Amino acid sequence: MTVSCEDEELVEKIIDMLRTVYDPEIPVDIYELGLIYELNVDKENNLAVTMTLTAPNCPASDVIVSDIEKRVGSIEALKSVSVHIVFDPPWDQGMMSEVAKLQLGFM
Protein backbone atom coordinates (compact mmCIF):
# COMPACT_ATOMS: atom_id res chain seq x y z
CA MET A 1 0.00 0.00 0.00
CA THR A 2 1.19 3.49 -0.86
CA VAL A 3 0.46 6.35 1.54
CA SER A 4 0.74 10.03 0.63
CA CYS A 5 0.19 11.90 3.89
CA GLU A 6 2.63 13.49 6.30
CA ASP A 7 0.28 13.24 9.31
CA GLU A 8 1.02 9.77 10.69
CA GLU A 9 -1.69 10.07 13.34
CA LEU A 10 -4.30 10.78 10.64
CA VAL A 11 -3.08 7.79 8.61
CA GLU A 12 -3.50 5.56 11.66
CA LYS A 13 -7.06 6.84 12.15
CA ILE A 14 -7.85 6.15 8.49
CA ILE A 15 -6.44 2.62 8.69
CA ASP A 16 -8.32 1.98 11.95
CA MET A 17 -11.58 2.95 10.23
CA LEU A 18 -10.77 0.85 7.14
CA ARG A 19 -10.40 -2.11 9.48
CA THR A 20 -14.10 -1.70 10.35
CA VAL A 21 -15.21 -2.15 6.72
CA TYR A 22 -15.95 -5.70 5.58
CA ASP A 23 -16.86 -7.33 2.31
CA PRO A 24 -20.26 -8.80 3.30
CA GLU A 25 -19.27 -12.14 1.79
CA ILE A 26 -15.89 -12.47 3.53
CA PRO A 27 -15.41 -12.30 7.33
CA VAL A 28 -12.19 -10.23 7.08
CA ASP A 29 -11.86 -6.44 6.81
CA ILE A 30 -10.86 -4.85 3.51
CA TYR A 31 -7.54 -3.58 4.88
CA GLU A 32 -6.35 -7.03 5.97
CA LEU A 33 -7.63 -8.51 2.70
CA GLY A 34 -5.15 -6.25 0.89
CA LEU A 35 -7.82 -4.42 -1.09
CA ILE A 36 -6.44 -0.95 -0.31
CA TYR A 37 -3.73 0.09 -2.77
CA GLU A 38 -3.26 3.78 -2.00
CA LEU A 39 -4.24 6.47 0.49
CA ASN A 40 -3.65 10.03 -0.67
CA VAL A 41 -4.46 13.00 1.56
CA ASP A 42 -4.00 16.37 -0.14
CA LYS A 43 -3.12 19.69 1.53
CA GLU A 44 -6.82 20.45 2.16
CA ASN A 45 -7.29 17.05 3.89
CA ASN A 46 -9.30 15.47 1.08
CA LEU A 47 -8.70 11.73 1.07
CA ALA A 48 -8.56 9.66 -2.11
CA VAL A 49 -8.64 5.90 -1.56
CA THR A 50 -7.53 3.69 -4.42
CA MET A 51 -8.62 0.11 -3.96
CA THR A 52 -9.66 -3.05 -5.71
CA LEU A 53 -12.22 -5.76 -5.14
CA THR A 54 -11.76 -9.51 -4.81
CA ALA A 55 -13.58 -9.90 -8.15
CA PRO A 56 -14.45 -7.38 -10.89
CA ASN A 57 -18.14 -8.29 -10.71
CA CYS A 58 -18.33 -8.09 -6.90
CA PRO A 59 -22.02 -7.56 -6.05
CA ALA A 60 -21.08 -5.79 -2.80
CA SER A 61 -18.98 -3.03 -4.40
CA ASP A 62 -21.54 -0.26 -3.79
CA VAL A 63 -21.98 -1.32 -0.16
CA ILE A 64 -18.22 -1.40 0.43
CA VAL A 65 -17.65 2.03 -1.16
CA SER A 66 -20.54 3.55 0.79
CA ASP A 67 -19.26 2.03 4.03
CA ILE A 68 -15.76 3.44 3.43
CA GLU A 69 -17.12 6.92 2.69
CA LYS A 70 -19.33 6.84 5.78
CA ARG A 71 -16.86 5.38 8.28
CA VAL A 72 -13.65 7.04 7.12
CA GLY A 73 -15.59 10.22 6.40
CA SER A 74 -16.48 10.38 10.10
CA ILE A 75 -12.87 11.36 10.88
CA GLU A 76 -13.17 15.05 11.75
CA ALA A 77 -9.80 16.01 10.27
CA LEU A 78 -10.88 14.91 6.78
CA LYS A 79 -12.75 17.31 4.52
CA SER A 80 -13.88 14.64 2.04
CA VAL A 81 -13.38 10.99 1.08
CA SER A 82 -13.47 9.62 -2.45
CA VAL A 83 -13.02 5.98 -3.42
CA HIS A 84 -11.55 4.88 -6.74
CA ILE A 85 -11.83 1.21 -7.71
CA VAL A 86 -9.17 -0.22 -9.99
CA PHE A 87 -8.43 -3.73 -11.21
CA ASP A 88 -4.77 -3.32 -12.07
CA PRO A 89 -3.01 -4.98 -10.45
CA PRO A 90 -5.66 -7.64 -9.98
CA TRP A 91 -6.22 -8.82 -6.42
CA ASP A 92 -5.05 -12.27 -5.41
CA GLN A 93 -4.81 -14.18 -2.13
CA GLY A 94 -1.13 -13.30 -1.81
CA MET A 95 -2.15 -9.70 -1.03
CA MET A 96 -3.83 -10.71 2.22
CA SER A 97 -2.09 -10.08 5.51
CA GLU A 98 -1.10 -13.00 7.71
CA VAL A 99 -4.00 -12.05 9.99
CA ALA A 100 -6.45 -12.47 7.10
CA LYS A 101 -4.89 -15.74 6.01
CA LEU A 102 -5.20 -17.10 9.55
CA GLN A 103 -8.82 -15.95 9.84
CA LEU A 104 -9.71 -17.63 6.56
CA GLY A 105 -7.77 -20.83 7.29
CA PHE A 106 -5.08 -20.38 4.65
CA MET A 107 -2.25 -20.85 7.18
What CATH code is carried by the domain that includes residue 65?
Answer: 3.30.300.130
Alpha carbon distances (Å) from 39 to 11, 19, 31, 45, 57: 8, 14, 11, 12, 23
Say how far apart CA 101 and CA 72 lie, in whole Å. 24
For residue 100, tell me if it sits in a domain: no
Mean pLDDT along residues 2-12: 94
For residue 21, tell me if it sits in a domain: yes
For residue 106, tell me if it sits in a domain: no
Q: pLDDT tens digit string along 34-87?
A: 999 999 999 999 999 999 999 888 889 999 999 999 999 999 999 999 999 999
Q: pLDDT tens digit string along 90-104?
A: 999 999 999 999 988
Q: Residue 6 is part of which domain span?
A: 2-93
